[in-house]
A = this chain, B = another copy of it.
């Protein structure tokens, strides 16, 4: 389906755009099935939070309407929504009054091997570390060179995702997923106040775990925590949950809590 820029069909953008110049913007990747964008409230809430922190102006009602209309036309696929601060004057300074530019792109739902969700995946252990920047941590902003470098570390199809740590060796997330550990019936996921992307599926699973009375610990995860975990899984808002079978010399089996939450994630994506 054709791209929209500010609600109009367009496939190009002014080269002065600050998204290009500085990565000055945010994005969301939204699964669409039956013309409905999955987890739309979560995506728009994260975007609103990001806009607040980056001082980006956006009309949220207009944005919601635009995403819904785009998804209806698309029917099935993945929508990538990019917000940028618009075109640049010279230099980093910006006028706070200018509204963000809205870009909607689409592609087909990715055809991941069925085994990813069934038998689980292996994580490549990335050397590229996540830098710590509290002012940007959690946001899905357009400064993604660390992910580009991390993803360039492996080329085999054995590894469906990569594991990223921070500069202190703490276990944080996947290159395009969040990570959960299960230990004695408790879920753990990394604190993302210094680095990482606070995924919409991660937030939804934390909420659902609470409803299911599954304790969730959000904090620092060490290599030891990972090694001792009973179950490990990754998640995002396109594929839901994939069990993790291994990472380097570590191995796990998909366990009962992963399977329960996998069904929960599937239901969240389908409604």
Contacts and interface: CB of A to CB of B under 8 A. Distances in A.
A21 B152 CA distance: 16
A85 B192 CA distance: 29
Interface string A12-29: 111111111111100100
Contacts of A94: 148, 151-152
23 contacts: A12-B13, A12-B15, A13-B14, A13-B15, A15-B103, A19-B20, A20-B82, A22-B23, A22-B142, A22-B148, A23-B23, A23-B144, A54-B145, A85-B148, A90-B107, A90-B110, A92-B151, A92-B152, A94-B152, A131-B132, A132-B167, A133-B146, A135-B146
A114 interface: no
A147 B82 contact: no
Interface in A1-54: 3, 5, 10-24, 27, 54
A62 interface: no
Given A105-B15, A131-B132, A167-B132, A91 B151 contact: yes
Given A11-B15, A15-B11, A23-B22, A92 B55 contact: no
A182 interface: no
B132 A23 contact: no
A82 to B, nearest CB: 7
A267 interface: no
Contacts of A167: 132
A170 interface: no
Given A16-B105, A21-B142, 9 more contacts: A3-B15, A18-B148, A21-B82, A23-B23, A23-B143, A90-B107, A92-B175, A92-B176, A143-B145
Contacts of A183: none
Nearest to A107: B90
A152 B150 CA distance: 30
Interface of A: 3, 5, 10-24, 27, 54-55, 78, 82, 84-85, 90-94, 103, 105, 107, 110, 128-129, 131-133, 135-136, 141-152, 167, 175-176
Contacts of A21: 27, 82, 142, 144
A145 B175 contact: no
Contacts of A5: 15
A129 B107 CA distance: 37
A82 B23 CA distance: 13
Contacts of A143: 22-23, 143-145
